[in-house]
């Protein structure tokens, strides 16, 4: 519609173009000046107070004393976990107590303990005979109020999803309770409220970002990748209950990430995202709906990056990895497929496609040559940058330290901790129609974060120097802690 508006002065699009370009020019110069100052000081390269991560929040040294503040006033003894610890003693009582036999119904240790501490027996029997029956009765009357709290608590304790080795028709659904009854799905008030709840819970469970989308069946593998209750030689029919996909993600530890490839690891974020997805799947099942976690490293049956794009988490970069506004490419995502009805997010466009067209830092830094300098091409019907995965995979074993490589993630200008400077740069690049700021910021990145020659990342026997993009954090310098001559 804007193009048909009468041409009096600037129309809206022209105005946005001009003001975007002006903003880009002023902003880039400002960031350049600030960036030059901060770029000189390695400790401020993330724009944060400390590049070593969290700082101790309380000065304990000032308060250190020679003797602990508990007092020894008699003969000390160790704890007998069978009786002194209520979590062993009480279940024992619940299992074995017989009103007629009294103390005689218990084993010798328990008898001896309760004889020594009769007031504890009184308290334990009060819990067994009074509190527990009343709790069961009250629970029936008032439990609705605490459905979410209980689901959240169960989910927090989920370390491995029950039955994940069974096919989705079984493993994804809530298990019957002891009486054989299966939980009916709770009726939910609105799609929007459910999405809000799911997102808040995802953050509670440890996710840094979360997005929701309808699952496009094109992103599900034709054959399953791993066992997980599915036959890898039988085509995978997309289960009907994989209606929605919730994408969660956590970042890798920042300082080792910048010291890739030798000192970084994907496993920290793999494990964190896995736990978030397990917890989220458990939470959804507690509400009576189906849910299946798809988690890194390789426990999934679908392609995560395009689902994350659909869910508005970010865009795909030249290096094929997802780029988010908050963490750049420093994230490891997981997906939960589910049938809980929710409002979905929209994809986002914050300028990555234009930026990647000219940047190419990842391609220049990639030791294996897996990242293209060229244009996008058609792959399985979609236009994208091609990644030469065998070359990339071979490099994983061509450097020492931790297996793998994340150099393209570390060098990407978007991979910066979220701070005001990062956010300002994002805003400029996303709104710059001229592309001038892209070139300027790419040059800044190269100037302030120079890396070794790509060949130097290889291990020495392959002509390299065991190089890392940046210095490792002090706590990963083996030579400073271990006496290799000792």
Query: 464 and 64 in contact (C-beta within 8 Å)?
Result: no
Q: Is the dihedral of CA 310, 314, 201, 191 positive or negative?
A: negative
Helix (H, G, I), strand (E, B) or coil at 198: helix
Q: Which two tokens stand for residue 382?
A: 């979609």
| Nearest to ligand SF4 of 300, 414 (CB atom) | 414
Distance of alpha carbon 482 from alpha carbon 77, whole angstroms: 37
Residue 439 to residue 339: CA distance in whole angstroms: 44
Q: Which stretch binds ligand SF4 (CB under 6 A): 45-53, 177-185, 234-242, 407-415?
A: 407-415
Strand order in the sheet with 244-250: 209-214, 244-250, 332-338, 291-294
Spell out the residues 6+ positions from residue 167 whose beta carbon is closer than 8 angstroms to its own: 229, 230
Is 399:458 a contact under the CB 8 Å cutoff? yes
Comparing CB distances to ligand SF4, the nearer of 207 and 368 is 368
**C-alpha–C-alpha distance, residues 310 and 211, integer Å:** 9
The residues in 147-206 that bind ligand SF4, with binding defined as CB under 6 A, are none
Site string for ligand SF4, 308-337 (x = CB under 6 A): ---------xxx------------------
Decide if residue 467 touches ligand SF4 (CB under 6 A).
no
Cβ neighbour number for residue 422 with a 10 Å cutoff: 21
Which CB atom, from 202 or from 330, has the smaller least distance to ligand SF4?
Answer: 330
Window of 15-23, 149-157, 168-176, 366-374 that interacts with ligand SF4 by CB under 6 A? 366-374
Residues that contact ligand SF4, how many (by CB under 6 A): 24
Question: Can you say whether the dihedral through the CA atoms of 434, 437, 442, 446 is positive or negative?
Answer: positive
Q: Does 422 help bind ligand SF4 (rule: CB under 6 A)?
A: no
- The nearest distance, CB 81 to ligand SF4, in angstroms, is 48
- Give the tokens for residue 422: 């990062």
The C-alpha atoms of residue 411 and residue 394 are separated, in whole angstroms, by 20
From 24, 408, 421, 444, residue interacting with ligand SF4 (rule: CB under 6 A) = 408
114 binds ligand SF4 (CB under 6 A): no
Q: Which listed residue (208, 238, 269, 370) binds ligand SF4 by CB under 6 A?
A: 370
By CB under 6 A, tell whether 371 contacts ligand SF4.
yes
Report how far apart the first and last C-alpha atoms of the chain are (Å, whole number).
Answer: 77
414 binds ligand SF4 (CB under 6 A): yes
Between 228 and 406, name the residue whose CB sits nearer to ligand SF4: 406
What character string, x for contact with ligand SF4 (CB under 6 A) and - otherwise, covers 376-395? ----------------x--x
**Residue 270 binds to ligand SF4 (criterion: CB under 6 A):** no
Residue 400 beta carbon to ligand SF4: minimum distance, rounded to whole angstroms: 14
Q: Is 356 in the site for ligand SF4 (CB under 6 A)?
A: yes
- Chosen residue from 35, 413, 451, 472 binding ligand SF4 by CB under 6 A: 413
Among 368, 418, 429, 437, binds ligand SF4 (CB under 6 A): 368
Nearer to ligand SF4, 382 or 475 (CB): 382
Helices (H) and strands (E) in the chain, counts: 18, 8
- Phi, psi values for residue 465, rounded to 5°: -130, 20
Binding site for ligand SF4 (CB under 6 A): 317-319, 355-356, 359-362, 366-368, 370-371, 392, 395, 405-408, 411-414
């Amino acid at each position: 519609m804007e193009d048909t508006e009468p041409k009096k002065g600037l129309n809206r699009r022209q105005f946005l173009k001009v003001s975007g370009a002006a903003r880009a020019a002023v902003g880039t110069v400002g960031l350049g000046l600030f960036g030059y100052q901060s770029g000189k000081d390695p400790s401020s390269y993330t724009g944060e107070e400390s590049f070593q991560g969290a700082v101790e929040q309380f000065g304990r040294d000032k308060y250190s004393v020679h003797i602990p503040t508990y007092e020894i006033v008699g003969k000390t003894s160790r704890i007998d976990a069978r009786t002194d610890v209520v979590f062993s003693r009480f279940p024992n009582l619940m299992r074995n107590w017989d009103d007629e036999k009294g103390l005689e119904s218990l084993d010798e240790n328990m008898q001896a303990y309760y004889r020594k501490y009769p007031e504890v027996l009184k308290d334990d029997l009060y819990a067994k005979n009074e509190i527990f029956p009343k709790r069961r009765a009250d629970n029936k009357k008032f439990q609705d109020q605490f459905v979410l709290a209980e689901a959240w608590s169960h989910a927090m304790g989920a370390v491995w999803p029950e039955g994940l080795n069974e096919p989705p028709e079984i493993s994804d659904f809530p298990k019957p309770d002891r009486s054989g009854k299966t939980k009916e799905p709770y009726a939910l008030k609105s799609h929007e409220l459910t999405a809000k709840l799911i997102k808040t819970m995802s953050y509670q469970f440890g996710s840094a970002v979360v997005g929701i989308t309808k699952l496009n069946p094109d992103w599900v593998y034709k054959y399953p990748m791993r066992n997980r209750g599915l036959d890898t030689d039988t085509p995978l029919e997309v289960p009907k209950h994989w209606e929605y996909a919730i994408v969660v993600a956590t970042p890798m530890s920042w300082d080792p990430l910048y010291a890739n490839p030798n000192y970084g690891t994907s496993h920290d974020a793999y494990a964190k995202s896995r736990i978030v997805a397990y917890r989220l799947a458990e939470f959804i099942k507690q509400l009576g709906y189906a849910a299946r976690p798809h988690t890194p490293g390789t426990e999934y049956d679908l392609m995560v990056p395009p689902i994350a794009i659909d869910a508005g988490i970010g865009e795909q970069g030249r290096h094929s990895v997802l780029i988010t506004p908050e963490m750049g490419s420093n994230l490891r995502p997981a997906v939960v497929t589910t049938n809980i009805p929710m409002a979905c997010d929209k994809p986002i466009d914050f300028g990555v496609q234009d930026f990647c067209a000219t940047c190419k830092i990842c391609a220049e830094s990639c030791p294996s040559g897996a990242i293209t300098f060229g244009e996008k091409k058609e792959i399985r019907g979609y236009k994208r940058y091609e990644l030469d995965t065998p070359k990339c995979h071979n490099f994983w074993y061509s450097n020492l330290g931790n297996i793998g490589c994340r150099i393209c993630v570390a060098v990407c200008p978007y991979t910066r901790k979220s701070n005001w400077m990062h956010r300002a740069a994002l805003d400029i690049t996303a709104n710059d129609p001229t592309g001038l700021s892209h070139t300027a910021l790419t040059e800044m990145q190269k100037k302030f974060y120079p890396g070794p020659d790509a060949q130097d990342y290889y291990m020495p026997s392959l002509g390299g120097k065991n190089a890392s993009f940046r210095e490792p954090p002090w706590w990963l310098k083996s030579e400073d802690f271990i006496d290799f001559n000792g």
